[in-house]
Copies of this chain bind each other. A is one copy, B any other.
Amino acid sequence: MEQAVRHFQEELEALKSRLLEMGGLAEERVRASVEGLVARDHALIDTVLTGDEPINRLHIDIDNRCFRLLALYQPMATDLRAIVAAVKINSDLERVGDLAVNIAEAAVRYLGHAPVKQLIDIPRMGTIAQTMLRDALDSFVKRDTEMARSVLNCDDELDALKTQVFRELLTYMLQNVETIEPALDLILVSRHLERIGDHATNVAEDVIFMVSAQDVRHHPPATP
């Protein structure tokens, strides 16, 4: 029995490090897609468009590990919550990878036109989304609900930036018909970044539930 417990803990640690690896890949792909857009770097954008195989493999591998842990060890309480959280976090990270591809696709179209005057707050939105992702995953590994709550608060900032970006780009579009197509792609990029923030928020909510068995979904985040 003690050996079973040890094996379980080893497999749970292996699961967590796979999730971290996947989170690192997802974050890197978000960074590369935004950086490729900002630096007008086609080669960097291409790495995002063609490089989703590792994250897809990890997605399936992590799901299989979760099933194996549930089936072989029938964990209870905290461990059970950690594994169900891992199933959900895995889905969220996979979508983040897909959203990086969506950003890269919009970036390719964007670079086909004369650039819009400036990229406004898009780079800042990218930085916030990456930080949220990293903190959410850190909070999962460290079981740190304070850090998870900080992620929930960042989401409001990202939402506000999205609205502001929309307004500014709309002004450009109305003033100059030539900016319509590139500005449209920037609006889509800002929506993709907002959704990445939503996925980081989901992860943070799962962490809070995992640690405290307290459901913070569908309630406003606590103000610090």
**Inter-chain contacts of A71 with B (CB < 8 A):** 76-77, 80
> Separation in Å of the A214 CB from the closest CB of chain B?
11
> Separation in Å of the A120 CB from the closest CB of chain B?
16
What are the interface flags for A54-81 relative to B under an 8 Å C-beta threshold, 1 for contact and 0 otherwise? 0010011001001100110010110011
**Inter-chain contacts of A20 with B (CB < 8 A):** none
A116 an interface residue at 8 Å Cβ cutoff?
Answer: no
B67 and A80 form a contact (CB under 8 A): yes
| Interface 9-mer from A24-32, A132-140, A152-160, A174-182 | A174-182
A217 an interface residue at 8 Å Cβ cutoff?
Answer: yes
B87 and A66 form a contact (CB under 8 A): no
**Inter-chain contacts of A87 with B (CB < 8 A):** 84, 87-88
In chain B, what residue has the closest Cβ to A74? B74
Bound CA span A81–B74, Å: 13
> Separation in Å of the A71 CB from the closest CB of chain B?
6
* Given A87-B87, A177-B177, A170 and B191 contact (CB-CB distance below 8 Å): no
A131 an interface residue at 8 Å Cβ cutoff?
Answer: no
The majority secondary structure among interface residues of chain A is helix
In chain B, what residue has the closest Cβ to A181? B170
**Inter-chain contacts of A60 with B (CB < 8 A):** 215, 217-218
A180 and B191 form a contact (CB under 8 A): no
**Inter-chain contacts of A59 with B (CB < 8 A):** 217-218
Bound CA span A56–B184, Å: 32
In chain B, what residue has the closest Cβ to A60? B215
> Separation in Å of the A55 CB from the closest CB of chain B?
9
User: Which A28-54 residues sit within 8 Å CB-CB of chain B?
Assistant: none
User: Which A140-176 residues sit within 8 Å CB-CB of chain B?
Assistant: 170, 173-174
A187 an interface residue at 8 Å Cβ cutoff?
Answer: yes
A91 an interface residue at 8 Å Cβ cutoff?
Answer: yes
Bound CA span A82–B60, Å: 17
> Considering residues A81, A84, A88, which has the most beta carbons from chain B within 10 angstroms of its beta carbon?
A84
